[in-house]
Chain A
Amino acid sequence: MKMKKMVAGLSTAVFAFGALAACGGGTDNETSNEGGSSNENKPEKIVIWEDIEKSETTKEVAKAFEEEHGVKVEVVEVQMTDQKDKLALDGPAGKGPDIVLVPHDQLGTIADQGHLTPITDEGTLDPFTDAAKSAVMFDGQAYGYPKSVETPVLMYNKDLMSEAPASMDDLYKLSNDVKADGEYGFLALWDNFYFAHGVIAGFGGYVFQEDGGALDPMDIGLNNEGAVEGFEYIGKWYEEGLFPKGLIGESGGQAMDQLFTEKKAHSVMNGPWAVAGYSDAGVNLGAAPMPTLPNGEPIKTFMGVKTYALSAYTENQEWAEMFLQELTNEENALAMFEAYNEIPPVAALESNETITSNEVAKAVFDQATNAIPMPNIPEMGQVWEPMAQALQLVATGKQDAQKSADDAVKVIEQQIQANNQ
């Protein structure tokens, strides 16, 4: 309503100077659904942002919800990685959704900026696994309902590899053997910290030291002895030509997928999201937990939990929570798994046959026992870029591991300090 006045205001002012008043033509009446609290019992509709090309299940649940409760749920597809930035604009403008879908590691940042509101009853999270529950906690409050859990595993082509090797040393040997044929035994995007973390942590590095359940952003372990060893191990694969040069940077993912689907790479490190593409391309896909590192430790991959969170601008929190509890319940989580390979972090489903019989899902569950949830404190936002830089420098052999790691940590510390003054 105010909006209209504004339009009228601008255009009249404009008109007063004899110009086209046409500019203000498109008034948007839809936006006045802020009526809110007085008739809180039945909002006109609630809006949820779902990831693109993954909304069919959600739409079905929404339909059922509307039939049962008489509240329409509008499902809008927005790329998950864009939701954080879009919420920051659309929220205050009054055009935001009630529910967003974000990776749990962003929860802290978004909540800290004030765009999220915690859920009312932590007890409603009981059906989820402990790891998933802890992933959505920030600052002592729960910020949403877990949708699915992801962690990279070893995916291999069964036509080229009869079974998954148990150790990285085996893979290393294989890679050396097939190198002469222009093939690759194993590929991983280790210039990307998301994937490289498993190696660095396996050798003893860590992002933030855990201190009684909370993370200490002042204690960074990415250039300790173990971390540097991890960097060196990563560098070795590039340096010896076991990874192709094109595996670095923006188009690295594309390069890896292409080599794997063209049967030039025997195995890759990738997450469950890649399964559809690989199967479509005709790869006889097998999956297993990541092999152990030369020091006998497992690769401690990052675990991510896609989380439905509540916008701070919502007027319909109660209904939004009710819908989410329904959307993430056992039955619908299973449907989501069947439709999109989204592995549900629901405790009751861990032994469900549909899931355990799925090789990838089983590998993810097994790997998850060694995985570390990505830190969700806002300081994590400072880690990605400097680490990607350091990894790229090591991968291209431009700088040695120790110096790269030291530089990265210095930048991270500087930025955290600069931002917390």
Chain B
Amino acid sequence: MAAIANPKSPDQRPDKPTNHARNAGLLSIIPGLGQLYNKQYAKAVAFFIVVVSYFAVNYDLFFKGAGAGPGDRGGLWGLITLGEVPGPRNDHSIFLMVEGIVALILLFFGIAFYVWNIRDAYRVGRARDQHLNLPSFQMQLRNLRDHGFPYLMLIPSLILLVFTVILPLIFTFLIAFTNYRYNNAPPAKLVEWVGFENFTRIFEIDIFRDTFFGVLGWTLVWTVASTTGVIAIGIFLAVILNQEGLRFRRLFRSILILSWAVPAFITILIFRSMFNESFGVFNTTILPALGLDPVDWFTNPTATRSALVLIQWWLGFPFIMTLMTGVLQSIPGDLYEAATIDGATIFDKFRLITLPMLLFATAPILITQFTFNFNNFNIIYLFNGGGPAVPGQTAGGTDILISWIYKLSLGANPQYGLAAAITLILSFFIMTLAVIQFRRTKSFKDEDMI
């Protein structure tokens, strides 16, 4: 109390210790008041305005609903209950859920600001307690610009990411614990929380369990086969192109890079027509010319699978080739010279020098290639829609996990809850893998922590 009665303390150096830190911190329970107490008037006004407008604007969203759906309610209430009255003009569980998540995210930002406000007041108060000179308003601004610069610059990206990555993620997570599916959907019915039912369904219902393991198996085979092939071809061609004395190098490189330059979306559709069993060039021209029988590309699972892997090789290698070309050019020439003197053959040199250097330098990118193919939806979906049919399972013979999830969530008779549960299981796999790998890579190891 003495401290408040004696606000001019900085130059008087009283014997009694002051409690500005505590007081300012407590006062900022009402944002701005602590700053006022610290005599930072402009800041106090700014904080106050921010908080008041934040509540004024978001009150509806948090407690009443902002009318995203047909009903008049929403906000956090909607997220918890998922609605009470079904019907086309009443509560729509899914709209309520999304609105609730948005409310939750904004609330999180609000709380973060609030905590920062208290900390700020507390810190300034502590500075006063220690009789340090308080920075002027101008200095604070400059301070904000210097220390706040990274934060300020990150805000646009952060907001975009929160709404394009975090919000869908929270939604998927929540849906996994509901009974949302095509015949239990708004407006006729409300969606309800059902706990872990979807997860048990995957493993208890025969057809889902069989499909899950069948699809998982092929997903792994596909990922490994397509990615290692792409990497091997990419490295091989990069090495060949990089030979001393090779002519037409630019021409060859330009041609080979074409399969990357044309949008994959288009090439896959073109391949789909080329592999057509009755009219496609493979069956009508190429295979007969080689003296081979036509292949049933779309109805035989093994044939479709092989075709897919071949196409992915075709599509994927230029990226690796380009990447490796760069690395090759950076390998010091004297390494090879020394090896030549030691009598190493060309293959020794490749195996002992080139390959390790290439793989080591590009490891993080190579990992992303695996995750890319693990989730390579476009090629599977566009080529044969995941077909052909396989007895005893709900997915087709070339469906990988992600295309199965697509069928379960956007196909006929969607099973959103189940699809979400499978998404979570799959995510758990990829995330564990990716985190382990990324953390091992150099850039995150050799850097100082803050």
Q: Do chains A and B touch in the complex (CB under 8 A)?
A: yes
Contacts between the two chains (Cβ within 8 Å), count: 164
Complexed CA–CA distance, A112 and B188 (Å): 7
**In the complex the two chains form, is A244's CB within 8 Å of B113's CB?**
no
Q: Which residues of B contact A385 (CB under 8 A)?
A: 394, 412-413
Q: Which of A11-19, A54-62, A296-304 contacts B (4 or more CB under 8 A)?
A: A11-19
**In the complex the two chains form, is A259's CB within 8 Å of B155's CB?**
no
For residue A218, CB closer than 8 A to chain B, the reply is no
**In the complex the two chains form, is B300's CB within 8 Å of A396's CB?**
yes
Residues A114 and B188 in contact in the complex (CB < 8 Å), given A5-B66, A246-B277, A398-B391: yes
Complexed CA–CA distance, A249 and B276 (Å): 11
Complexed CA–CA distance, A403 and B384 (Å): 25
For residue B279, CB closer than 8 A to chain A, the reply is yes
Q: Which of B52-60, B361-369, B437-445 contacts A (4 or more CB under 8 A)?
A: B52-60
Q: Shortest distance in angstroms between B161's beta carbon and chain A's nearest beta carbon?
A: 12
**In the complex the two chains form, is A414's CB within 8 Å of B207's CB?**
yes
**In the complex the two chains form, is B413's CB within 8 Å of A113's CB?**
no
For residue B88, CB closer than 8 A to chain A, the reply is yes
The A383-421 residues at the B interface (CB cut-off 8 A) are: 384-385, 388-389, 392-393, 395-396, 398-399, 403-404, 407, 411, 414-415, 418-420
Q: Shortest distance in angstroms between A213's beta carbon and chain B's nearest beta carbon?
A: 23
For residue A20, CB closer than 8 A to chain B, the reply is yes
Residues A18 and B181 in contact in the complex (CB < 8 Å), given A6-B67, A250-B384, A381-B413: no
Complexed CA–CA distance, A248 and B385 (Å): 13
If over half of A's interface residues share one DSSP class (helix, strand or loop), that class is named, otherwise mixed; here it is helix
**In the complex the two chains form, is A255's CB within 8 Å of B279's CB?**
yes
Q: Which residues of B contact A378 (CB under 8 A)?
A: 183
Instruction: Classify chain A: how many residues form its interface, as a range.
Output: 35 or more
Residues A9 and B58 in contact in the complex (CB < 8 Å), given A246-B277, A411-B207: yes
Q: Which residues of B contact A160 (CB under 8 A)?
A: none
For residue A241, CB closer than 8 A to chain B, the reply is no
For residue B186, CB closer than 8 A to chain A, the reply is yes
Q: Which residues of A contact B69 (CB under 8 A)?
A: 92-93
Question: Looking across the interface, which residue of chain B has its beta carbon closest to that of A246?
Answer: B278
Complexed CA–CA distance, A2 and B115 (Å): 30
Q: Shortest distance in angstroms between B24's beta carbon and chain A's nearest beta carbon?
A: 22
**In the complex the two chains form, is A2's CB within 8 Å of B57's CB?**
no
**In the complex the two chains form, is A244's CB within 8 Å of B413's CB?**
no
For residue A8, CB closer than 8 A to chain B, the reply is yes
Residues A6 and B277 in contact in the complex (CB < 8 Å), given A92-B186, A396-B299, A414-B207: no
Q: Which residues of B are at the interface with A, using a C-beta cutoff of 8 A?
A: 50, 53-54, 57-58, 60-61, 66-70, 86-89, 92, 95, 102, 106, 109-110, 113, 152, 155-156, 158-159, 181-189, 201, 205, 207, 272, 276-279, 294, 296, 298-300, 384-385, 387-392, 394, 412-413
Q: Which residues of A are at the interface with B, using a C-beta cutoff of 8 A?
A: 2-3, 5-6, 8-10, 12-14, 16-20, 23, 88, 91-94, 109, 112-115, 117, 244-251, 254-255, 258-259, 312-313, 378, 381-382, 384-385, 388-389, 392-393, 395-396, 398-399, 403-404, 407, 411, 414-415, 418-420
